[in-house]
Amino acid sequence: MSIKAGIINVTGYAGMELARILRSHSGVELIAVTGRSAAGEQLDEYLPHLDRMGLPIVEQDELDDVDVAFSALPHKASAEACVAMLGKNARVVDIAADFRLHNVEEYETWYQPHPAPSFLEEAVYGLPELHRDQIKEARLIANPGCYPTGALLGLAPLVKEKLIEPNVIVDSKSGVSGAGRSLSQTVHFSEANENVSAYGLSGHRHLPEITQELHEIDPSQKWAVTFTPHLIPMTRGILSTIYVTPVDGRLPASPEGAQRLRDLYEDYYAAEPFVRVTKTPPQTKQTSGSNMTQVYPVMDQRTGRIIIVTALDNLVKGAAGQAIQNMNLMFGAPETEGLEEFALFP
């Protein structure tokens, strides 16, 4: 199988990472890349770390004859590009947020008027561990946000088995690459270095995405999620610490309950190639550059609460790697193809 692929907006961090990973994918030929500010330049000259890619950066309307298009544009612009590529009979993976929320009113509350609301019903939320069968048949994938990926993979086993109360706290720390390449005061080196800051306390755009997917797993609950992201002075990675309370009697605060908790996670993720249940709390460097999410569930036997820690690379499993995992499923390729590199450590 040879899948002809194109990347819309290769000059952003997610677009660059797509090109890097696709280079080693045996079943993909990357035939075209676009970049709004770099059209006309050679990819490996504009981005020297993508050495010998041998591709010109073209205008967006020149992207034709691809089997799959990855859109790494900002929201709104991404929706418009995705619709255009669907009109050219390509299958599309949207790394932006435009098709993640099923409800148009919810989307417009958190973003802006939706440029293509008629496609929301068709789009499939691209978290393979939750929606693998739908992804295989889809022509439009809404790649999940980086924060929701870690939160949902941490919560899914407990939610699926109806083992926790619906009040959930997700505390997440992210490296500065999650903010993209556009410079702002908060990610300026002298502002971010040796500094930690919380943001989005009145509501973050990834919050409704987390709540939506928890409701899909267990619609019987009215999920109340407190989500607080933090910016920390590193380039890549997201570490999420999740706090939940078990339903009375289901998972006792005892060594037996702690073992049942661990067994639940190990059984749930036993067949998943990109989720690893760890024996020690994960660290972001242990996932840097890889498509792996590490998950560590533990019972606090003093309080009866459950704590789940997850770690992932926000540019790989949180963006480009997950997009390629989705593409593999869409085209019947081995799900792990091109994605089996170990993390870069240290």
Token pair in block for residue 8: 């819309």
Q: E strands of the chain, at which residues? A: 3-8, 28-34, 57-58, 68-71, 91-94, 124-125, 140-142, 167-174, 197-198, 224-231, 238-244, 275-277, 293-299, 306-312
Q: In this structure, how many other beta carbons lie within 10 angstroms of the beta carbon of residue 308?
A: 23
Sequence-distant (≥ 6) Cβ neighbours of residue 232 within 8 angstroms: 173, 174, 175, 196
82 is catalytic: no
Query: What 3-state DSSP class applies to 111?
Result: coil
C-alpha dihedral over 101, 180, 14, 270, to 10 degrees? -60
Distances, alpha carbon 322 to alpha carbons 14, 52, 325, in Å: 11, 24, 5
Per annotation, catalytic residue among 50, 69, 146, 324: 146
Distances, alpha carbon 63 to alpha carbons 8, 42, 82, 236, in Å: 8, 15, 11, 30
Paired residues of 148 in beta bridges: none
DSSP-derived letter for residue 233 is S
165: left (phi over 0), alpha (psi -120 to 50) or beta: beta
Active site positions, annotated:
146
